[in-house]
Amino acid sequence: MNLTLKIWRQKDAKSAGKMETYPISNVSPDSSFLEMLDLLNNELIDKGEDPVAFDHDCREGICGMCSLYINGEAHGPDRGVTTCQLHMRMFKDGDTIYIEPFRSKAFPVIKDLVVDRSSFDRIQHAGGFVSVNTSGNTQDANAIPVPKRDADKAFDAATCIGCGACVATCKNGSAMLYVSAKVSQFAYLPQGRVEATERVLNMVEQMDKEGFGNCTNTGACEVECPKGISLEFIAKMNKEYLKAATCAEK
């Protein structure tokens, strides 16, 4: 395949960026999108030019590091896959492909296609964990029966990989889908109930501090989420939040 790539280039967080054009040839339809960018970077390095910076790690849809906005869609035109799982067979020979970073006020660009998503880490630190007594007297987790329906819901929520596609896709730059998944994965389990009140209050407070927008129920986040995280979890988080805020007032 022969393609034309239009890629966002930005030297650093302070410099202005712009789209640059790169023709690329001999791309295998069986290669992944990131392998196609590797090919481009090898050519740029051979020519003594600065390679395009982009995030990646596992390259198998698990870590949440890859984060490209491709032809106006977070993670590109395929459904239910991350950028690293996107294959070039989704494009046609002769196509022009626009590649941009995940844009949001809370995700500032660091360089080219790499954005700073540490705001997600700070939300996790605010409550996305269960405190466990590791003194040797820890109760076996299986000693507490969990209804199958709740276990399934918790597992579905836990599949969020923290990529940020929901934020990049949302017209408001809202992080509600991400935070609701992180709150819900514990809220459905008895082990998560112990700290449930402070967890949801602290995580939502941190989300607001980071500058994410508000949710207006558009639902674009659910459509673009590579892990199929459901809007139902936003409803679950709102319920948890109202309950916690009422308790905190008493």
Binding site for ligand FES (CB under 6 A): 56-59, 61-66, 82-84, 161
What CA–CA distance (Å, rounded) separates 82 from 161?
Answer: 10
Whether 179 contacts 238, CB under 8 Å: no
Which CB sits closer to ligand SF4, 97 or 165?
Answer: 165
Which CB sits closer to ligand SF4, 162 or 173?
Answer: 162
Q: How far is the CB of 5 from ligand SF4 (least distance, A)?
A: 24
Place of tokens 């602290």: 202
Distance between start and end Cα atoms, the chain: 65
Q: Which does 160 bind (CB under 5 to 8 A by kind): ligand FES, ligand SF4, none?
A: ligand SF4
Q: Which does 76 bind (CB under 5 to 8 A by kind): ligand SF4, ligand FES, none?
A: none
Q: How far is the CB of 34 from ligand FES (least distance, A)?
A: 7
Angle CA 233–236–238, to nearest 5: 110
Which CB sits closer to ligand FES, 157 or 189?
Answer: 157
Calculate the CA 230 to chain-centre distance: 14
Q: How far is the CB of 116 from ligand FES (least distance, A)?
A: 17
Pairing mode of beta strands 3-9, 96-101:
parallel
Q: Which does 225 bind (CB under 5 to 8 A by kind): ligand FES, ligand SF4, none?
A: ligand SF4
Which CB sits closer to ligand SF4, 177 or 204?
Answer: 177
Whether 51 contacts 45, CB under 8 Å: yes
